[in-house]
Structure 1
Amino acid sequence: MADLFSSDDVLPAGADHAPLADRLRPAVLADVVGQEHLTGPDGAIGRMVAAGRLSSILFWGPPGTGKTTISRLLADAVGMRFEPISAVFSGVADLKKVFAAAKEHGRRGEKTLLFVDEIHRFNRAQQDSFLPFVEDGTVTLVGATTENPSFELNAALLSRAQVLILRRLDTAALEQLLDRAEALIGRPLPLDAAAREALLASADGDGRFLLNQVETLYSIDIPTPLDPAGLSALLHRRVAVYDKDREGHYNLISALHKSLRGSDPQAALYYMARMLTAGEEPLYVLRRLVRFATEDIGLADPQAVVQCLAAKDAYEFLGSPEGELAIVQACIYCATAPKSNAGYMAMKTAFRTARETGSLMPPMNIVNAPTKLMKQVGYGKNYQYDHDAEGGFSGANYWPEEMSPQTFYTPTERGFEARIAERIAYWNKLRAERGAA
């Protein structure tokens, strides 16, 4: 898929019948907006161009941020032949032709920049096929991906290329695109100030999408400037980028979890809404809320997990959209509840100690003695029944003889755990007194 202001076809940049994004395609790297951290004199690309020498590159960034355009301009800037392919439409046979052509051009002293769009769509074997041709200089590889290279690309390929991150276009960069479009067309967009802001927001950082929307506006006879409502009725908002099995999914669930942990109900609601409006399975969100209630709230508020499980039942009973209010309620409850990870940390420490200590026998006084023989050899001997002890607490030792008593669970002073901490302190005091007696 072509990227911002780019075309792999034969349309000249200034052709009147070309799409607006093509007609506004930058002619030099300095014209690319929103990526100055890379294209500026101190950026990685700026330094490569100044040196006149490119290393292999992997561009990672969201759609419509200029990956294809920058690659094409890079080839022009250092005098290389630009060879574009798409991993969506190309296979091994196509790659062999590209490499053979690059070798032939290399013999004539012409270097090739091989641009691979959607490079993450190539399988591992196909990615490996690039390596010998990158290493011997047949091609300089420039790949483009919207997916996290750490997850989608071979380690061998990553080790031979520099990963450069393209940023989502901010409002200032998108505003520059609008200004250029208006200058090219020769008249302002038929929007009032509020609608212009709404148009920028609707692009969600995607410059190509923005220019396609602008082209639609210019193609329609609009006698008076539109307000936001009129704009919304005419154009569709860009659907948020969200793949439920890819990085965007994990970024948002991480943001939701950390906002809940940070007791920010507003941010938590925002990230939860981002997930649900993008099509996330509501039961997945509920599973994460239940996990949060046990990991980050725990006994500071034992009702948190009850609220989350009740929300799950309510959602399964009501369905969408009515049941989503129950998810919202559970989210707010968790965000505003007192927090404690004491139970979670206790679990980790207890499990680790259990693995390390192996099969230590509990003390004889607390093991079961269901047979006469077991009683004769001392099983259950001298067990102190706590209900018969003063205050319902015997203070007996329950640890294996080879182990000293351990402390796994240390309650916080927050919420209900403050009361638990008082009880534990009281029992520890009694245990010390009765042990010394």
Structure 2
Amino acid sequence: MNDLFADEAAPEAAPEMPPEDAPLADRLRPRVLSDIIGQDHLTGPEGAIGRMVAAGRLSSMILWGPPGTGKTSTARLLAAAVGMRFTAISAVFSGVADLKKAFAEAEKFKSAGQRTLLFVDEIHRFNRAQQDGFLPFVEKGTVTLVGATTENPSFELNAALLSRAQVLILHRLDAKALGQLLTRAEEIEAKPLPLTPEARDALIASADGDGRFLLNQAETLYAANIKEPLEPARLSDFLQRRMAVYDKDREGHYNLISALHKAVRGSDPQAALYYLARMLVAGEEPLFVLRRLVRMAVEDIGLADPEALHQCLAAKETYQFLGSPEGELAISQACLYVATAPKSNAAYKAHKAAWKSARDTGSLMPPQNILNAPTKLMKEIGYGSGYTYDHDTQDGFSGDNYWPEEMEPQTYYEPVERGFERQVKERIAYWNRLRAERG
């Protein structure tokens, strides 16, 4: 909304069509509740909002959900659906004076027989005293409060306010819902997005459940007037084209550190020591070399020999304690240790794979049984229900599923048959066997 404070004397009507040059997200803004995508559990006939609209009477509510899921649109369309006056304030920009004005005007319209829906965006940004200020007006029916928040109401809103408002949870938009948004965008633009099917999927995944972000990205693609459909790699380059390229021109410096790293990875302690000496004799900063040795310990050795990391960090501490040239002996010792240690990049590959999954899957919720439930509200909506305490089970292992419902269990870490990881591999195989036996 452009105004920080907006109100209408008449009941809220369906939104007018925005001009053709309006942003795509505005042109696709829902005009009736049934247009809202991805929240059928609330807006459908059996949903809480659907039932309230059918009855023609709203109760105060808190809309809790991620950005771009339709909280503001839902509030505005609710007012239109039941013939209420709509007024909105933002907790980011509004203060006590704005609240007093809103309540005074609501009292005036109430006396004339007109009910007011007060929408408070980012309601969690009001402090506790300001939140208490809503209570008498909600209790008297001066306003029907609809608050929107991206934060957990259990932690951010007063218990007194929560007891007077129903908490409704909006879901992050899934791939199907986001795909529907793109289809609507293509219909209103009267042309398809310049993307291959694979790139379209990648664009949807990049939105992380945020419909507004997705439409902004789509608008960027349309504005670029792209002639040929982009594939995923080209789409990624296009959307990141403003990122500055950063480079250094110290080629010899990087050639030597590359040679040192590869000699260590190749388990050649003699060559590794040679390149280490080349760098230190040339005046390389010892702490830079130590940082790279630490990286080798976690990237190329990992759990095949966990002691490698300790050796490198001990060398850093020793060098800082002794200084040059005595402390350089500790660097040489760490270099020889990592070069002769058993090698495994299983932890490194697992790290990269897990980070990729995290980016691809976005904000998927863990299963409710493993969520903490410190508040009454969180317990009521199922947080922590059915959790199995592993220490109380046979073998200290429950075999429960810890993955989000929308995601298949993944295998990121696969230990090798070298060094300590041989034992780790045996442990994982044992747990997998128990998990399979217990279903």
TM-score of Structure 1 vs Structure 2, range by shorter chain? 0.5 to 0.7
Q: CA RMSD in A?
A: 3.8
Report whether the alignment pairs 1:218 with 2:237: no
Distance 1:9 1:212, change over 3 A: farther
Following TM superposition, by how much is the alpha carbon of 1:328 offset from its aligned partner in structure 2, in angstroms? Answer: 4.8
1:233/1:329 Cα in 2 relative to 1: closer, same or farther (>3 Å)? closer
CA contact (8 A) 1:13 1:24 kept: no
Give the counterpart letter for 1:159 in structure 2.
Answer: S
After TM superposition, the structure 1 = structure 2 runs for residues 197-212 of structure 1, keeping only pairs within 5 Å, are 197-212=201-216
In 1, the alpha carbon distance for the partners of 2:207 and 2:147 equals: 24
Deviations 1:319-347 (A, max 9, x none): xxxxxx99956998xx9xxxxxxxxxxxx
Could you tell me which residue of structure 2 aligns to residue 62 of structure 1?
66
Deviation digits for residues 394-429 of structure 1 (CA, Å, limit 9, x no counterpart):
xxxxxxxxxxxxxxxx9969999xxxxxxxxxxxxx
Identical aligned residues as a percent: 66
Aligned to 2:89, the other structure's residue is in SS state strand
Do residues 179 (structure 1) and 183 (structure 2) align? yes
Partner of 1:25: 29
In structure 1, give the amino acid aligned to 2:187: A
Match of 1:131 among 135, 145, 148: 135
Which AA in structure 1 matches 2:117?
Answer: L
Cα distance between partner residues in 2 of 1:223 and 1:32 = 32
TM-score (ref. length: structure 1):
0.55
| Contact 1:311-1:327 at 8 Å conserved across structures | no
Instruction: Name the structure 2 match of 1:422.
Output: none
Q: Secondary structure at the match of 1:63?
A: coil
In structure 2, the residue corresponding to 1:144 is in which secondary structure? Answer: strand
Aligned partner letter, 2:55: A
Is 2:176 the counterpart of 1:164? no
- Given candidates 41, 52, 77, the residue that maps to 1:73 is 77
- Please identify the structure whose Cα radius of gyration is greater: 1
Deviations 1:192-220 (A, max 9, x none): 11111111111110000000011111111
Aligned to 1:104: 108
Q: Is the 8 A contact 1:102 1:138 kept in 2?
A: yes
Aligned equivalents of 2:95, 2:134: Cα separation in 1: 12
* In structure 1, C-alpha distance between the alignment counterparts of 2:315 and 2:119, rounded to whole Å: 47
Residue in 1 that maps onto 2:149 = 145
Q: How does 1:303-318 map to 2 (within 5 A)?
A: 310=310, 313=313
**What SS is found at the alignment partner of 1:168?**
coil
In the aligned structure 1, how far is the partner of 2:203 from the partner of 2:229?
13
- Give the whole-Å Cα distance in 2 for the aligned partners of 1:315 and 1:215: 53
- Secondary structure at 2:226's aligned position in 1? coil
**What is the Cα deviation at residue 310 of structure 1?**
3.9
Q: Distance in 1 between matches of 2:121 and 2:100?
A: 17
Q: Distance in 1 between matches of 2:194 and 2:71?
A: 30
Q: 1:177 and 1:128 mapped to 2: Cα distance?
A: 38
Matched with 1:15 is: 19
Give the counterpart letter for 1:29 in structure 2: L
Q: Tell me, what secondary structure is at the counterpart of 2:161?
A: helix
| Structure 1: runs of 5 or more not aligned | 238-302, 318-324, 336-409, 417-437
- Deviation, 1:107, is 1.1
Give the 3-state SS of the residue equivalent to 1:30 in structure 2.
helix
Contact 1:87-1:122 at 8 Å conserved across structures? yes
After superposition, give the CA deviation of every residue in 1:207-249 in whole Å (9 maximum; x if it has no partner): 0000001111111121111111111111149xxxxxxxxxxxx
Corresponding residue of 1:89: 93
Q: Is the 8 A contact 1:62 1:166 kept in 2?
A: yes
Number of residue pairs the alignment of both structures matches: 265
The Cα shift of 1:184 comes to 0.5
**Which residue of the other structure, out of 112, 117, 122, is the alignment partner of 1:113?**
117
CA positional deviation for 1:102: 0.6
Change (3 A) 1:39 1:227: same
- Deviation of the 1:14 alpha carbon: 3.0
Distance 1:135-1:186 versus aligned 2 partners, 3 A rule? same
Q: Structure 1 103/9 Cα, relative in aligned 2: closer, same or farther at 3 Å?
A: closer
Structure 1 residues 311 and 81: alpha-carbon distance in aligned structure 2, compared to 1, 3 A threshold = farther
> Residue 386 of structure 2 corresponds to which residue in structure 1?
none
**Distance change in 2, residues 1:307/1:38 (3 Å):** farther
Whether the 8 Å contact between 1:114 and 1:140 is mirrored in structure 2 is yes
Quick check: 1:35–1:166 contact (8 Å CA) kept in 2? yes
Say if 2:35 is the partner of 1:49: no
Residues 4-54 of structure 1 deviation map (CA, whole Å, 9 limit, x = unaligned):
xxx979994331121111111111111100000000000000000000010
Structure 1 SS opposite 2:147: strand
CA contact (8 A) 1:315 1:327 kept: no
CA distance in 1, matches of 2:174, 2:312: 38
Q: 2:315, 2:149 → 1: CA distance?
A: 37
